[in-house]
Structure 1
Amino acid sequence: MMYFTQAEIDRIILEDLPLHDETTRALGLPDAPGDLTYTARQPGVLAGMAPLRRLAQSLGLRAEPLAADGDATVPGQAVLRLHGNAHALHITWRQGLNLLEYLGGIATATRQMVDAARAGNPRIQVAGTRKAHPGARRLQHYAVLCGGGMVHRAGLSESILVFAQHRAFLPGVDMAQLVARAKAHSPEKFVLIEAENEDEALAAARAAADGVQLDKMTPGQLAALVPRLRALQPRLILNAAGGIHPDNAAQYAASGVDVLVTSSLYNARAADFGATMRAA
């Protein structure tokens, strides 16, 4: 689903291993064969297996996957078993748990949001933003994908998203001129305008923007505005952003928008996994 570079995997290893494992050195731990098994302790959605398997293989361990990213897990379910030498198993142990728990929490929260939203609109998409933790965005985006969501915008180079902060530096440029300028300079890029009120949204639709991101509007406001925007431009992509959570996702989805955009997924409570190690 996503490719993780060796440099990314090495950073995860080196973060926890700046020199060596001092505990195994101090204890004189034999470098004997063994295995390490990761087990889910609660229901959820699995994420983090792909980078964890790459990490383990980079340290010379043999990975025996027992489940796949995106699978639903139940308490007591073993998801991965690693085989190899004790030193590599101990290096992998904690970072492996970190990947499964933090990414699993995001994937589980994403699945819950998607399920809630599709009760209001079966075709709705839930998108994670780039407002992720610095340095962890690709991993967090991966977890959103594992949970059945999509990536709203991987980075600044991907698409054109015009905020009020951009317009503040272009006081003499109206919406039509702004959209025309963006399309002239980047004809292959999707042009999305964030609108904070009805007037801005209607102006963006009239200016032939490809999409409008409706920020911090209530489901009721959206339900009234969406038909007017569609009348101006039937193929307009409409995003709702701000204040969306599982309790109101169905209402937002039922308003007629195409995508629910949220960064709340990255603040999900971590999943709970156990790790059992034994000598062979």
Structure 2
Amino acid sequence: MFDLICHIEGGRSYPSQAITLIESGFCFGKRFQIPESASLSFSFIIKDKNLDRGSPILNIGDIPVKLRLDSKDDASSTWISTFKKPFSNYESAYDNIFFNNAGNTVISIEFTNSSICKKLNIDVLASKENEALCQEMLGYMSSKFDDVINLCFSRTLKGTGNDDQSKECNISKLISEAERGISTIESLWPFFSRNIRSVPERNIAIQRGGIPDSPEGLIWLSQNQSNIIFCDINEQTVRINNLPAKIFDSAVEKIKQNTNIKENLVILSYLSQIQKNF
């Protein structure tokens, strides 16, 4: 006998809960509902001493999930899921398994040395954002049904009518435009990246211990003479009437390369339109 339990961490629109997917080796034919954005963990509990079956194997769809032996005694053994983060290699019992994968899926459990295999259906509930996106995509495909047919089944991507609109379907036009745009960007990208235009902009910044390096800086210092004091020779930064002096705060010129100019905006607008439309 064995149990399979799914642990769901609480989210904005659903509470924390534990769902028993398999109880005492039985699947009851119920379709379980799990939020797409939920962080999940699985516990597999073997309640008998039959070790001939071997180690358990958990699959979500066609993807195996690693199970680690967490505890064992004379009455039972408990295995928990382990997920490895792709960049840090950090292992955790919880993961967003179904993120951006709403719909129907199958969870199965089997053993290395046995023909036993239990399967159950899961309804992965889409988030509100992805639900709206799916409806928008389906609505677009429904309104462009003839174009989708031409795209899938026509080698020429041509429509069937005699009028100008039917000579080339809208989707094939988009694909052609995207291909031309991408080819243009690929060929010119080295030029764009090496020749980003900029215009120098001069600004005045107040800096502790700085030396004026522009006419504006000298004007500021003359208007704020309290920042100049006479001092020992080892502390001097300037000499006034052949006497050592130092400056506390001074106006220093900062030059910033401004790339927000017409040439760059034209290129970025073109790239933005490609991203938006294709």
TM-score range, shorter chain: under 0.3
Please give the TM-score of this superposition, normalised by the length of structure 1.
0.22
Specify which structure has the bigger relative contact order, considering alpha-carbon pairs within 8 angstroms and separated by 6 or more residues. 1
Q: Quick check: which has more Rg, 1 or 2?
A: 2
Bigger proportion of residues as strand: 2
